[in-house]
Amino acid sequence: MEYLVDFLENEDIKKSKIFSHLKCSEDEAKILKALVRRYIEGEVDIMANDILSEIFGRQNYAQLQKIPLLKNVIDLGWVIQSNFTQLKLSDFSNLELYNGMITPSPTFLKLLEDGNLEMILPDITPYSDHLEYIKDQFFRIELYQKISSTRQNTTQNAIGVNRLQTKLQLLEARISERLKVTKNEVVIESLFKEHSFDIKEQIIFLALLKEEYSGEFESLREMNTLIGLVSFDEYERIKNRAILEDGSKLIESGIIDYDEMFTAFGGVSRSFYINEDILQKIMHPDKEKKSKKIKLDMLIAEQDIFELIEPKTNLNDVVISPKIQDALEGILKQLDKVVVARLKEWGIKDKKKGVDAKIILYGPPGTGKTMTALSLAKSLKKQVLNFDCSKILSKYVGESEKNVRKIFDTYKELCHKTKTEPLLLLNEADQFLSARSSESAASADKMHNQMQNIFLEQIERFDGLLVATTNMLENIDPAFSRRFDYKIAFEKPNLKQRIKLWQQALPESALYEEDFDIKNLAGYSLTGGQIQIVLKNTALKVALKKEPIFTLEDFKEAIERETKGAFGEGSTVGFLK
């Protein structure tokens, strides 16, 4: 207790051994000295006005003039208000503080006992391996977490933050010095330099890396938590969200990614993570570099089975019924960490599998089946391998059966080579799924049955996300129906949905006749695909006018042609909000 005794007995308080650590004025140190003296005499909760009056007297209300000094030592973290309150220090009036109860803070008591608050850090030596470096960086992230948590605590907004920041500065300086004398490559630092990450981007990356190593509570994956580490106030929180938005450096560089899931309130939450290739490079820097992952588009160019589609819209952009929304949410919830953990515990879900579902989307042409499939892929951050099922028929005996196997064999080969799991989309799959013919059927029907049997076998063995679209569910063989996890019906949009479709489709920059009302257009029972066709045909007609103004009559003419004919009804599928 030499530092405590020295502080209390030294007549010149500025010469006490801990004065340099206090970073306060002489008068403020006198307040602390009087407070500590009362504390060791058994007073825990001490009236602030008693301390101020004892030191500065009451003549001409001198004690009242010194209240700002008391505020300063509270702000520095040496004193706390023992009468608990939800107010921040800045919200107190001087008189409220004057009649409040105060006591030495735990930090100040530790300083009196140990003589300093500095962390015990190792000497400045080179990092011998990446684990030493990671250990220091994880300690750094812990300090950022404590600062963020302390800053958000309204009762201790200013208490302790300065002490933590001092520790953080010391640690960051030590990390910097150790890096300067380290000759071996530090993979994470090389990554930061390669992508020119600023300090905030580095902190967010390191926080996610810490979460990957801990692998338990996943408290650092949510956007608000990550942004809170690098934000000092609400304004900065708003501004710093751009660090984790689409188009940001961390996302665009492919260093980190995120999963999206619907929340109970209809919104979408994001859970961030470091991409697997980057993570493996950091965790195992001494392993020989594997050959670069082949990109899917490079392999697609070498074959003629699949079309590669990069989805542009997600499920928030598609107008779908509540029933369809519920079904799709069930698929997305396969990514929910709690759900996944339970399914793995019960042995229902393989530990290495991601989303695993076989889905039939059925309904009239133009109702949004294909667009919904693409939007589901986008929400799951997957590419799409699209196969047109009309290509499967062959005039050569036995070729169709081979081609069925080739679809799935090629899909598996592409997944293996690219280390990806794209959504497999089988468009217009009616001929695969229709009821099989009887045993006494003609030879052509028997070959068709054989093709379907192979298809049924492949569906049974398929692992991953498969979506088949068809116009008529009633003709589907029951054996196929049982193999699909989700059978989702698409119907023609109702009035409310058609209004949304027209609102999305109509160009904002165009001119419309006076009293033009979208509800008049929505009164016609059209699908999303038909609305797109009607708009295109109407726009071509209006563009030829001397005064290009859209009228209801222009649309009526195009609608009449579309509803009377069968052409074009299914040429544009999907619809947007």
Output the CA–CA distances (angstroms, integers) from residue 238 to 39, 222, 248, 269, 509, in the order listed: 44, 15, 15, 16, 31
Q: What is the pLDDT of residue 160?
A: 59
**200 and 235 share a domain?**
yes
β-strand pairing of 307-309 with 256-262 = unpaired
- pLDDT at 566 > cutoff 60: no
For residues 293-317, give the mean pLDDT.
80
- pLDDT at 128 > cutoff 90: no
Task: Tell me the pLDDT band of 117, cut-offs 50, 70 and 90.
Answer: low
For residues 430-453, give the mean pLDDT.
68
Q: Which residue has the higher pLDDT, 291 or 530?
A: 530
Highest mean pLDDT: which range of 43-52, 142-151, 286-295: 43-52
Taking all residues of the chain, what is their mean pLDDT, rounded to a whole number? 81
- pLDDT at 574 > cutoff 50: no
Q: What is the pLDDT of residue 577?
A: 41
Tokens, residue 44: 């825990």
**529 and 418 share a domain?**
no
Task: Tell me the pLDDT band of 337, cut-offs 50, 70 and 90.
Answer: low
pTM tops 0.85: no
Residue 356, by phi and psi: left (phi above 0), alpha (psi -120 to 50) or beta?
Answer: beta
Does residue 433 lie in a domain region? Answer: yes
Q: Which residue has the higher pLDDT, 23 or 550?
A: 550
Q: Any idea what the CATH number is for the domain that residue 35 is in?
A: 1.10.10
Other CB atoms within 10 A of residue 195 CB: 16
Q: Any idea what the CATH number is for the domain that residue 542 is in?
A: 1.10.8.60
Does residue 73 lie in a domain region? Answer: yes
**499 and 397 share a domain?**
no
Residues 6+ apart with CB under 8 A from 550: 506, 510, 511, 512, 513, 516, 538, 539, 542
**77 and 172 share a domain?**
no
For residues 202-215, give the mean pLDDT.
87
Query: 465 and 383 in contact (C-beta within 8 Å)?
Result: no
Tokens, residue 41: 């005499």
Half-sphere exposure of 126 (CA within 13 A, CB side): 8
Q: Which residue has the higher pLDDT, 403 or 509?
A: 509
**107 and 137 share a domain?**
no
Task: Tell me the pLDDT band of 270, cut-offs 50, 70 and 90.
Answer: confident
**395 and 412 share a domain?**
yes
- pLDDT at 272 > cutoff 70: yes
Task: Tell me the pLDDT band of 575, cut-offs 50, 70 and 90.
Answer: very low
Domain of residue 212 covers: 130-283
Q: Any idea what the CATH number is for the domain that residue 325 is in?
A: 3.40.50.300
**273 and 373 share a domain?**
no
Q: Which residue has the higher pLDDT, 499 or 84?
A: 499
Does residue 576 lie in a domain region? Answer: no
Q: What is the pLDDT of residue 340?
A: 67
**374 and 453 share a domain?**
yes
The tally of domains found in the chain comes to 4
Task: Tell me the pLDDT band of 84, cut-offs 50, 70 and 90.
Answer: very low
- pLDDT at 264 > cutoff 60: no
**484 and 501 share a domain?**
no
Does residue 573 lie in a domain region? Answer: no
pLDDT digits (tens, 9 = 90+) for 217-250: 456 778 888 898 898 888 888 999 999 988 889 9
- pLDDT at 487 > cutoff 70: yes
**374 and 481 share a domain?**
yes
pLDDT digits (tens, 9 = 90+) for 273-298: 888 888 888 887 766 544 455 678 78
**445 and 328 share a domain?**
yes
**395 and 471 share a domain?**
yes
Does residue 120 lie in a domain region? Answer: no
Task: Tell me the C-alpha distance between 69 and 75, whole Å.
Answer: 10
Does residue 123 lie in a domain region? Answer: no
Q: Which residue has the higher pLDDT, 415 or 347?
A: 415
Task: Tell me the pLDDT band of 537, cut-offs 50, 70 and 90.
Answer: very high
